Amino acid sequence: MQLTALKFAPRVVADLIPSSPLGRSSLAFVAGALTVLAFAPFSLYLLAIATSALLFLLWLDAAPAAAFREGWMFGAGLLGVGVFWMHISIDQFGNVGTLLAMLITALFSASMALYFGAAGWLAAKLCQVGSGLAGKLLSFCLLWVLFEWLRGWLLSGFPWLSLGYSQIDSLLAGWAPLFGVYGVTLAVTLSAAALIGLMLLDGRRRLPFLVLLALIWGGGALLTGQEWTTAAGKPLSVTIVQGNIAQQEKWKRENLQPTLDVYTGLTRQHWSSDLIIWPETAVPAFISQVEQGFLAPLSLEAEANNSTLLLGIADWQAGDKYYNAMLALGAERAVYRKRHLVPFGEFMPLKPLLQPLIDWLQIPMSDFSPGEKGKPLLNLAGYSAGISICYEDAFGAEVTEALPEAALLVNASNDAWFGDSLALPQHLEIARLRALENGRYLLRATNTGISAIIAPDGGVAAASPAFEQHSLSAFITPMQGVTPYARWGNWLVVCFALAGLAMQLMRRTGFRG
């Protein structure tokens, strides 16, 4: 049976929607899977609008249970395909075998897809009370943003593949310094809603949707290139060292000295740089183990060359705790300890209950402690820098905590866990949006790639080739000032979505105050 909302629609639109539950669910899954092509490295950013519009078409006349199923299938397609690379680390370093690693990854993706299902269920519930096409579509957009935000922090959070990241190279990226990634997601979903209005309506009824589309994209165009921050000092010369040490070889004791030789050899070619950065856990040892024979002499060497060296290393402290850390050497010595750890990768939730699983998986360096809360700042080459380690740069609100003091941003990562997969360009895409949100250069140092120097507008000023030893050097400008997003974080978008949904609900229930 055709959807009543589509009965006057052009035939080609109505034919998009199958009549059977299986057909509708399959269409939702395919739409989610195709959405992966909107993200790096494919960057077909308009596809994110088309696929979310297709899901909205499914939701228009769906009962709550059907909307949940279709939303869940969309999420399963998006995450099941988009983060399937997670099985690589589970397989190679988790001691479980390929089939079980793939099953664990599938179960994780299925659980994260529940956010999409919940958004669909609640949308259908809210829209059971009479409302027009515009009201329904607006509810879909606002709920999508709210549940994407929830996915980004609830139970430690997994914000990967938020729709806003797909737009880093589109005009919609202009909204990022104002409202962050979730604001860009809202622009994507509103564009999808406008597209549906243009397809389903005719004549003058199309005008509001056409105006909405013009405002979203025209506003993004006007904001693109807007400079929200200004130079804070003279340019700095920086070098990012990419050692390209295979993950399976990294923690073998016999490879410690060869690894140190690789990094020091590449570094000594660039002592003229003001700042040199090594990636996450570039030194596969604890600080105390290599202090006298390696770190102390290297610090003196950096100081003698008027350079600052920032390197990744594990830090063992009293109380049998160890941290994933970045250590600054040179004239000033300081350490940043990673605060937001990866569940099951860097720490085990419910450890007393899951100890047998920990022993079985045998993932190296998987029992870190979180660093202390506070501004993630280090003084590097005379400027305050906002530091994040690996996964931390996926949390925009945490990165902004370094502002306004930070004149630049640094992210040290090790994506070697995931081989030659979509994880590498996807992670770079996330880092690009962080730079744009905050109006700062972001220096990204990785073990196997993709290391990059990212400009305040989110553009990649320079990048290292993946899976090669490489030193990336350039001049960057320290920046000052704050973007609206850096000042207000995600709350502008979240409060807007909540207020919009409250108004929709009051209007539909006849509330007059």
How far from the centroid of its chain's Cα atoms is residue 480's Cα? 24
Beta strands (DSSP E) in 235-302 are: 236-242, 275-277, 283-286
- Asked if 309 contacts 267 with a C-beta cutoff of 8 angstroms, the reply is yes
* Token pair in block for residue 151: 């996915």
Q: Which of 250, 390, 392, 398 is catalytic?
A: 390
Give the DSSP H/E element, type plus range, for residue 173.
none
439 backbone φψ class: left, alpha, beta (φ>0; ψ -120 to 50): left
Q: What is the largest CA-CA distance in the chain?
A: 78
Note if 437 is an active site residue.
no
Q: How far is CA 399 from CA 300, 337, 376, 385, in A?
A: 31, 14, 8, 11
CA dist., res. 356 & res. 400, Å (int): 38
- Asked if 464 contacts 449 with a C-beta cutoff of 8 angstroms, the reply is yes
Neighbours of 178 (CB within 10 A): 19
- Asked if 163 contacts 189 with a C-beta cutoff of 8 angstroms, the reply is yes
Beta strand pairing status for 321-329 and 334-337?
Answer: antiparallel
> Token pair 């450890």 is at which residue?
351
Please provide the size of the chain in residues.
513
Q: Which of 338, 392, 401, 437 is catalytic?
A: 338
Q: Which of 127, 136, 148, 280 is catalytic?
A: 280
Phi, psi angles (nearest 5°) of residue 426: -65, -40
- Asked if 76 contacts 113 with a C-beta cutoff of 8 angstroms, the reply is yes
Note if 127 is an active site residue.
no
> Token pair 């993950």 is at which residue?
247
Which residues lie below 8 Å from residue 502, measured CB to CB, with a gap of 6+?
A: none
**DSSP-derived 3-state class of residue 376:** coil
* Token pair in block for residue 313: 């290393």
CA dist., res. 90 & res. 102, Å (int): 8
CA dist., res. 35 & res. 51, Å (int): 6
Closest CA to 486 of 445, 437, 424: 437
Q: Cis ω on the peptide bond leading into residue 216 (within 30° of 0)?
A: no
Helices (H), 9-151: 11-14, 21-35, 46-59, 64-82, 86-93, 98-112, 114-126, 133-151
Positions marked active-site: 280, 338, 390
